[in-house]
Every structure is written in C-alpha cells, then in structure tokens.
Amino acid sequence: MLTAHSNAPLLIRQALEFKPNVVVIAKESMYEKVHEALDPFDIKVYAGEESISQVVAMDTIDMVLVALVGFSGLKPTIEAIKAQKPIALANKETLVVAGELVTRLAKEKGVNIYPVDSEHSAIFQCLAGEFHNPVEKVILTASGGPFRGMDRKALEKVSKDQALNHPNWKMGCKVTIDSASMMNKGLEVIEACWLFGLKPEQVDVIIHPQSIIHSLVQFTDGAMKAQMGLPDMRLPIQYALGYPQRMKSSFPRFNFLDYPQLTFQAPDHEAFPCLDLAYSAMKKGGNMPCVMNAADEIAVHAFLREEISFLQIPELIEQCMNTSGFIQAPGFDEFMLTDQETRMLANEVLRKMKR
C-alpha cells in the first residue's frame, strides 16, 4: 500500500513502479486523476484522510511506515496499532501530541514502534544489547540549520528561502522550517522521552554541524555510545524496516579522512526559543505538547506564506501555550479537540500579528 496527501504524479509513478494492491490519495479532488492512471493495472484507489486510517488495518499489511506530516499521523498510527501492525515511525508529532496514549496502546497490543528519525534510530541502535543497562541520558545532535551562529538581531531579517536552505538534509518544507527554528529538535526531545522512557532532564541537545554523529547514549557508568554515518535518511528507514537484521546496502560509506574535524557547541536558547518551549510543554505534560504542535503548524505555514517573520514563529506558539485550556489526562477525543481549538486560537493570534 502507498499513500500520499496531494502529490498525485509521484504517487502514480511510484505505484506503477512498485505495483501495490492499494493506494490512497488524501486530497479527494485528486481521486479521478489517480484512478484513471492506475485502474488499468488493477491497483485499487481510495481517497480521503479517513481512508488512510482504514487501509492501515488490512490483513495484507505486514508493517506500517508512518511518514505523514504533523498531527495527521496520529489517527492512522493508532488504527495501525489497534490492528497489531508493527510501526516504523517517521512522524514525530504522533508521540509529541499523544505519546502516553500511543505508547500505552502499543504495549497493550504488543506492537513494536521502530524509530525512523535519524536521531532516534541512532539511540535505538546504541541501545542494542544494552536494554538491561540503565541510561543516564541521551544526547540528540542538531546540525544548527541554516541560521547556526546567528543572533536574534540577525534573525529579524531572514527570509523563507534562506530558512528552506538546509545545509545537510533534504526535507519537506515544514520539517525544514522547524529545523531552522530548532522546534524540530524540541519535538525530537519529546519523542525521545516517550520512545525510550526518559524524563526531559535526561535528554540533552548539542549542535554538531557536520551531522555525522546522529545521537549518543550515556550509561550510568559514564560510558557513551554514538551512532555515526553520512546524513542519509535511507539508512534509518532501512534499519527500521529490516530490524533486527541489517540489510546490505550500496549507500555511500563514511570516510574519516573526509571529515578531519567533528565539532560541537551548545544551542543558543535566546536566539532559538522553540527548544525551550518544547521542554516546557513536555514537563507540563497533558495536552500542552498538543497545543504547542498545533500552534507550530499554524505558525510555520504562516511563515511559508510570508505573513509573519521568522522570530514571530515562537511568539505565536508561546501565546497559544499561555492561553490555551489545559487538560491533565486527555484521551483521544480531547487531543482532537485540543488540536482544533488551538488552531482556531493560533489563527486569531496570527490575525492580530498581521495588523
């Protein structure tokens, strides 16, 4: 099975190459185009976001790779877990928004969640053979994005095109902007807490511009393990899909002589406050990470439309976190309601910012 949001040409091209039984295009207006192209090849075509949540439970599916963007990944992930499908998770927002609910359900259903984010895959690989040993802390590495080293004054004038010009990784627009603002790393802190049973104070972030060390684990004896490699998302995807075996690949190999220096520095919390917002949301718990995520999605898309400045992204998020209703122990319906209400609030804050 293959799914896409609205990129019908790519979905058609991939379907013709890999011949899945089913494809889903979330944007319903694209249904006829996809159906017309694939019907002669006996590939079933469905449309709508609800269809994605339904087809993940099909008997013919062995594993679900969740690579949807943002909040949209939550419901299909939950439905796949209910159907007892192993999850390869590339959608960090699922655990950011509803980590307790998702991890509890996975435990009840005996479903494994394999991380696909390069940082969390690195931690997972470092923990192989170490699951009986307590972890003191994990260290997530961050490239620093396109604005590494800039102060708030310099960030006042940065453009959308500059923010989308990531130095190491090729990603979608939302993730790339989140990387530039350090929100992506904040989301990863929350994801790491739920994946590996950690407290926020056990997760550190360090800037590593070369993106060769993908993350580290420090054990209670002080020993540290790091997973290294070239910045290539194919490796963590392949590792999750093939676990526990490592499948042979023809990917480029890392050569130490090409990187005579690996450097590290502390994050600039003043210039990039999104990281602290994420720590704050995780420490408060409840529906606060859901509030933060919804506000971030609205803020990032407003920035991409050039309606707000780069520095107004964290301002909008913080206003929503300070004024949204708090729920200590939300269920799925409360998460859905929180997401909807926060988006309405964020759009109201956005209108005031644009005046």
**How far is residue 248 from each of residues 38, 191, 256, measured CA to CA in Å?**
32, 28, 21
Rounded CA-CA distance 213/205 in Å is 12
What's phi and psi for 205, nearest 5 deg?
A: -125, 135
Q: Which domains does the chain carry?
A: 118-277 (no CATH), 285-355 (1.10.1740.10)
Residue in the structure block whose two tokens are 């058609």:
12
What 3-state class would DSSP assign to 6?
Answer: coil
Per-residue tokens: 251 = 């990917």
Q: Please tell me the pTM assigned to this model.
A: 0.93
Angle (CA) 302-173-292 rounded to 5° is 55
Tens of pLDDT, residue by residue, the chain (355 residues): 999 999 999 999 999 999 999 999 999 999 999 999 999 999 999 999 999 999 999 998 999 999 988 888 999 999 999 999 999 999 999 999 999 999 999 999 999 999 999 999 999 999 999 989 999 999 999 999 999 999 999 999 999 999 999 887 777 899 999 999 999 999 999 999 999 999 999 999 999 999 999 999 999 999 999 999 999 999 999 999 999 999 999 999 999 999 999 999 999 999 999 999 999 999 999 999 999 999 999 999 999 999 999 999 999 999 999 999 999 999 999 999 999 999 999 999 999 998 7
Rounded CA-CA distance 226/239 in Å is 16
Contacts of 91 (CB under 8 A, 6+ apart): 66, 67, 68, 69, 70, 73, 77
Q: Is 70 left (phi over 0), alpha (psi -120 to 50) or beta?
A: left
